[in-house]
Structures are given as structure tokens and as C-alpha cells.
Amino acid sequence: MANSDLVALEKQIDKLCSSCVDEIGKEIKRCADAIEKQVRALAKEVQAIRISDSMNEKELNEVPGRVDQILKKNNARLKEGLARVIFQVSVDVEEKSIWVDKHGVGGELAIV
């Protein structure tokens, strides 16, 4: 009889654990979606930045590398491997505008 009590206990615990993990999975998905939304907003905001007419071609060509450095510095503040902002820009020297070529989320949250 004790064996059936143990099985019943395990079944209850399994059901509770399963429900908990399902809820955690939903929260992680919501978190990943919110992060992706933030990165999309960042892309729009960066692309909307007006470049000063006084910037020369050499300075404009430095912008993508500077953006990479800025991202590296800021991504370092996130838990390594969990999430990182992926962002690639280019500059139209003639139009003096920034184009976001690529954006997204990398790391473990990217596969959620």
C-alpha cells in the first residue's frame, strides 16, 4: 500500500512541477519578445538620428566601428550568454544618414 501512496505523491509533485515549468517558459517567452521589441525600437531610433552637416566622410565612415564598440561595452553589462544586442549599421555618406542593416537578439534568449 505504501508504494501506491508514493506513486500518488510523485504524481502530484510532477503535476505541480510541470505547471511551474510551463509558467516559467511562458514568462521567458514574454521576456524574449519584450527584448526583441526593445531592439526593434532601438533600430528605429538610431536610424532617425540626424547627422550633423559638419561631419566629414572620414568621420562618417568611422560610425559603424564606433557603434560596434558601443554595443560591445553595453552588452558586457548583460549576463554573458543569456542575451546580447546584435546591431549593424552603415552610413550613407552622400545622404548623411544612418542605416540599420541588421538588428536582433543573440544568446540563449534568441532561441526561445
pLDDT digits (tens, 9 = 90+) for 35-92: 999 999 999 999 999 999 999 999 999 999 999 999 999 999 998 888 899 999 999 9
DSSP per residue over 31-93, as a string? HHHHHHHHHHHHHHHHHTPPPPTT--HHHHHHHHHHHHHHHHHHHTTSPTTT-EEEEEEEEET
Q: Exposed e or buried b for every residue in 43-74, given b needs 16+ CB within 10 A? A: beeeeeeebeeeeeeeebeebbeebeeebeee
The whole model's pTM is what?
0.80
Question: Is the pLDDT score of 112 beyond 90?
Answer: no
Every domain of the chain and the residues it spans: 2-111
- The answer to whether residue 1 scores a pLDDT higher than 60 is no
Q: What is the pLDDT of residue 81?
A: 85
In Å, what is the CA distance from 40 to each residue of 4, 44, 45, 86, 100?
A: 54, 6, 9, 11, 10
